[in-house]
Amino acid sequence: MNNKILIVDDKKSVLTALEMLLQTEFDEILTLNSPKTLISTIEENKVDVVLLDMNFKSGINNGNEGIFWLNEILKFDPSIVVIMITAFGDVELAVKAVKEGAFNFILKPWDNQKLLSTLHSAIKLRKSKVENSALKKVSQNLKQEINPNNYRLIGKSKAILDIMEIVKKVAVTDANILITGENGTGKELIAREIHKYSKRQNEILLTVDMGAVSETLFESELFGHKKGAYTDAKEERIGKFETANNGTIFLDEIGNLSLPLQAKMLSVLQNRTITKLGDNHPIPINIRLISATNKDIDAMIAEGTFREDLLYRINTISIELPPLRERENDVLLLAEFFLDKYAKKYDKKGLKITDKAKSKLLKHNWPGNVRELQHSVEKAVILSDNSNLNEECFSLNQNTAIPNNRIGDLTIEEMEKEMIINCIETEKGNMSSVSKKLGITRQTLYNKLKKYDL
């Protein structure tokens, strides 16, 4: 950082003496004998530290001018460090200036070594303030990336409007919320709506797919680890809970947790602390918990596969999302939304869904819910040859096979993506059945869903 110091004093002898003293210690010394152009000089030269006299008008020694310009400097840039220059008899005024935000003060006549030491400390403080400001901007940008504003909850049906009423009531509290519903109903969107209306809206919302976290890495992923905690732990890692501290953590597919992992999760939620692998010191956490599952938790409790005490911890409030087939004409509203989205993405302007195609969409049962509708519209847009999407463009509930006449037109990745989409539709959104039918593990399936943005 190029260290620039501005000296503001109405006495030329003071300016000359200070300039001579400081020019060998710092990169650039600027001087002003009047504060009239103070702010513009700071702006043009990106000043780091200001040495500011307390008084400028002859016969007036109340220090008000100095405090006025101190406040103007900090108003312009709070990271600039200001040191007041004052006569020995005005120490009380200088202390008042420090209370107003000055870093320190020096007395006339000054001690050279003490002055240099004070200025070097001021430069370090300025550097720290600039770095903290930059980190805050980076942090805010990361929060924007993690909490995007480009998602929307689409729907005007009574079922969705009733859900949104509940969301707005519970969002302002810190109550733990469990969102249930079939696959593809939009559980993550509801979690984002809750976060958006909460007191934590300016903090992070971190999503964790519990179905994609392997059992062996569960503690490391969620709670973090110390360097050397296990063979491959070559550096310290911050876990998901610590990352989401002061914000919201969304645990999707929480019904997939095994009983041993449920016990560990329960301990964290009860104590509101996490302990990193390889460490014995608990770390307090302050998070808002939202969980989601497509499973029947009550049935799992009866079967002994889900802990009842954990359910009490995660569902202070329960929100059940209706399937798409129960959302009246939201099907067409969503279809038009996705049509507009993918027409822009694939640069196909002027696309319209014909009346017969709309009728077909309304008659379909949508076992895969909104996700199935989204995929169906995207496929129709990709394969469209003209501006009208007719009923033949929407191949609903087809098997996983890709027609032979299309294989030569697709890349391997496109074929894989289409096969997964078709299989999800065929298996009505049951991910366990999809993974078995495709011959891959459930975790691999989740990885591919993320890869293809499904």
Quick: pLDDT tens for 259-312: 999 999 999 999 999 998 888 889 999 999 999 999 889 999 999 999 999 999
CB-based contacts of 237: which residues, under 8 Å, 6+ apart? 220, 224, 225, 276
pLDDT (0 to 100) of residue 20: 92
Across-strand partners of 179?
292, 319
Binning the chain into helix, strand and coil, the percentages to the nearest 5 are 50, 15, 35
Q: What is the pTM of this model?
A: 0.61
pLDDT (0 to 100) of residue 147: 55
Residue 203 confidence (pLDDT) above 70: yes
Q: Tell me the angle at which helices 64-76 and 91-99 cross, rounded to the nearest 10 degrees.
A: 20
Lowest mean pLDDT among 7-21, 110-124, 383-397: 383-397
The pair of three-digit structure tokens given for residue 166, joined into one six-digit string? 């509940």
pLDDT (0 to 100) of residue 146: 56
Burial class (CB in 10 A: 0-12, 13-18, 19+), 201: middle
Question: Which of 34, 50, 30, 40 has the alpha carbon at shortest distance from 103?
Answer: 50
Q: Which has more pLDDT, 168 or 235?
A: 168
Sequence-ordered strand ranges (E) for 264-374: 273-274, 283-284, 288-293, 317-320, 352-353
What mean pLDDT comes out for the span 162-184? 93
pLDDT tens digits along 2-23: 789 999 998 899 999 999 999 8
Domains and CATH numbers, the chain: 4-136 (3.40.50.2300), 158-322 (3.40.50.300), 325-451 (1.10.8.60)
CB-based contacts of 97: which residues, under 8 Å, 6+ apart? 54, 63, 66, 67, 70, 84, 105
Question: Which of 169, 319, 139, 167 has the alpha carbon at shortest distance from 247?
Answer: 139
Residue 137 confidence (pLDDT) above 80: no
The pair of three-digit structure tokens given for residue 49, joined into one six-digit string? 């530290």
Q: What percent of the chain is predicted at pLDDT more than 70?
A: 89
Task: Give the chain's radius of gyration (CA, Å).
Answer: 32
Residue 401 confidence (pLDDT) above 70: no
Please give the Cα distance from 195 to 258 (Å, whole number): 27
Distance set, CA 334 to CA 140, 155, 330, 369, 372 (Å):
31, 7, 6, 11, 11
pLDDT (0 to 100) of residue 115: 92
* Mean pLDDT over each residue of the chain, to the nearest integer: 85
Is the separation of the CB atoms in 195 and 207 below 8 Å?
no
pLDDT (0 to 100) of residue 409: 55
Lowest mean pLDDT among 39-48, 361-370, 402-411: 402-411
Would you put residue 37 in left (φ > 0), alpha (ψ -120 to 50) or beta?
Answer: alpha
pLDDT (0 to 100) of residue 281: 87
CA 395 to chain centre: 37
Please give the Cα distance from 11 to 34 (Å, whole number): 9
Give residue 410's pLDDT band: very low, low, confident or very high (50, 70, 90): low
The pair of three-digit structure tokens given for residue 58, joined into one six-digit string? 């002859």
pLDDT tens digits along 46-89: 899 999 988 876 555 666 788 899 999 999 999 999 999 887 66
pLDDT (0 to 100) of residue 400: 43
Please give the Cα distance from 302 to 298 (Å, whole number): 6
pLDDT (0 to 100) of residue 316: 93
Lowest mean pLDDT among 79-93, 175-189, 330-344, 428-442: 428-442
CB-based contacts of 358: which residues, under 8 Å, 6+ apart? 332, 335
Residue 149 confidence (pLDDT) above 60: no
Q: Tell me the angle at which helices 330-345 and 355-363 cross, rounded to the nearest 10 degrees.
A: 120
Q: What percent of the chain is predicted at pLDDT more than 90?
A: 46
Please give the Cα distance from 54 to 105 (Å, whole number): 10
